[in-house]
Amino acid sequence: MHPDSLPTRYCISGGALNLIKQGKVRDLYSLNDKQLLIVASDRLSAYDVVFPDPIPGKGVVLTALTRWWLEQTKDIVPSHWAGNDREQLRALAAEHSDALPADLPERAMIVERCEVIPFECVVRGYAFGSWLKSHPDLEPMTPFETPLFTPSTKAEERHDETISFDVMHETLGDTADDLRDLSVQLFRFAAQVCRGAGLVLVDTKLEFGRNQDGAIILIDECFTPDSSRFVLEEDFDRGVYTSFDKQVVRDYVDQIGWDRKPPPPRIPAEIIERTIGRYRAVQERITGVHVP
């Protein structure tokens, strides 16, 4: 994370709310011993750098989609979100109108505070992205019979690194098996739902934590365009792999020759429009609901 490049819109500098972490996209506030407030901003990061231009509406879209998925997957694994937080969010927005955005109920969630398990649980249904780069012998989008679990470290200041399952197992023991099995099960479920919405779920990243009872719970965001790669089924079937995520931005910054090091370049309005259009398309197809 590069704090210098973070827009300050959602920063607070005091008051009763305690900002405990500003991630690339989300701001985490401590509400009490058991609960956190997670606010999804409109910030966009690519190549682990946060861009100065927000993508208006992105945080609301990510939150709507995450809420929807956490509801759908709760029988596979419980999550950090118990639902029913709108009233409390409305009250928080009113009480802290100087620090928190007015649309807080749409872009935030009140979640169970937990100990984050410091691995990213990446699951791939097809050979693409970084995995394909390290296996150039395979055709792009070769399907895996069983979704492939390719965990990575969760580095605070460096790029996340793919590690072997054995390395994860050395640190976590049997929990590593549990996380792999849960991740693959969640991926299979989500891929099937996506197919029904005319989308191919190519790959995703999940995060888990342990709650205060020691149970494994699904945390953070879930099957969003920030954490997953989606391709329209009709494109996929004709070999076109345009993904419905921040690829528009990545392509733009690559095309102008940015070296992927801060400071990041400005993003033209047209690229911002296309990006939010893709995020919305995924969220609307999956949930069937338009959000403001």
Kindly state whether residue 58 participates in binding ligand ATP, applying the rule CB under 6 A.
Answer: no
Burial, 126: exposed, middle or buried (Cβ in 10 Å; 0-12, 13-18, 19+)? buried
CB nearer to ligand ATP: give 30 or 247.
30
Q: Interface mask (CB under 6 A) for ligand ATP, residues 122-161, using x and -? A: --------------------------------x-------
Kindly state whether residue 111 participates in binding ligand ATP, applying the rule CB under 6 A.
Answer: yes
Kindly state whether residue 7 participates in binding ligand ATP, applying the rule CB under 6 A.
Answer: no
**207 in Cβ contact with 81 (< 8 Å):** no
CB nearer to ligand ATP: give 115 or 270.
115
Distance CA 110, CA 62 (A): 15
Kindly state whether residue 28 participates in binding ligand ATP, applying the rule CB under 6 A.
Answer: yes
CB nearer to ligand ATP: give 19 or 111.
111
- Positive or negative CA dihedral for 164, 166, 172, 178? positive
Ramachandran quadrant class, 268 (left: phi over 0; alpha: psi -120 to 50; beta: rest):
beta
CA distances from residue 101 to 11, 40, 98, 175, 178 in whole angstroms, order as listed: 10, 10, 8, 38, 38
**162 in Cβ contact with 130 (< 8 Å):** yes
Kindly state whether residue 59 participates in binding ligand ATP, applying the rule CB under 6 A.
Answer: no
CB nearer to ligand ATP: give 20 or 94.
20
Helix axes 269-287 and 58-72, enclosed angle (nearest 10): 20
User: 255, 282, 44, 231: which is closest to 128 by C-alpha?
Assistant: 231
Kindly state whether residue 36 participates in binding ligand ATP, applying the rule CB under 6 A.
Answer: yes
Kindly state whether residue 1 participates in binding ligand ATP, applying the rule CB under 6 A.
Answer: yes
Identify the three-state secondary structure at position 56: coil
Kindly state whether residue 219 participates in binding ligand ATP, applying the rule CB under 6 A.
Answer: yes
In the complex, minimum distance from the CB of residue 155 to ligand ATP, in angstroms, rounded to a whole number: 8
CB nearer to ligand ATP: give 112 or 245.
112
Footprint on this chain of ligand ATP (rule: CB under 6 A): 1, 23-26, 28, 36, 38, 80, 111-114, 116, 154, 207, 209, 219-220
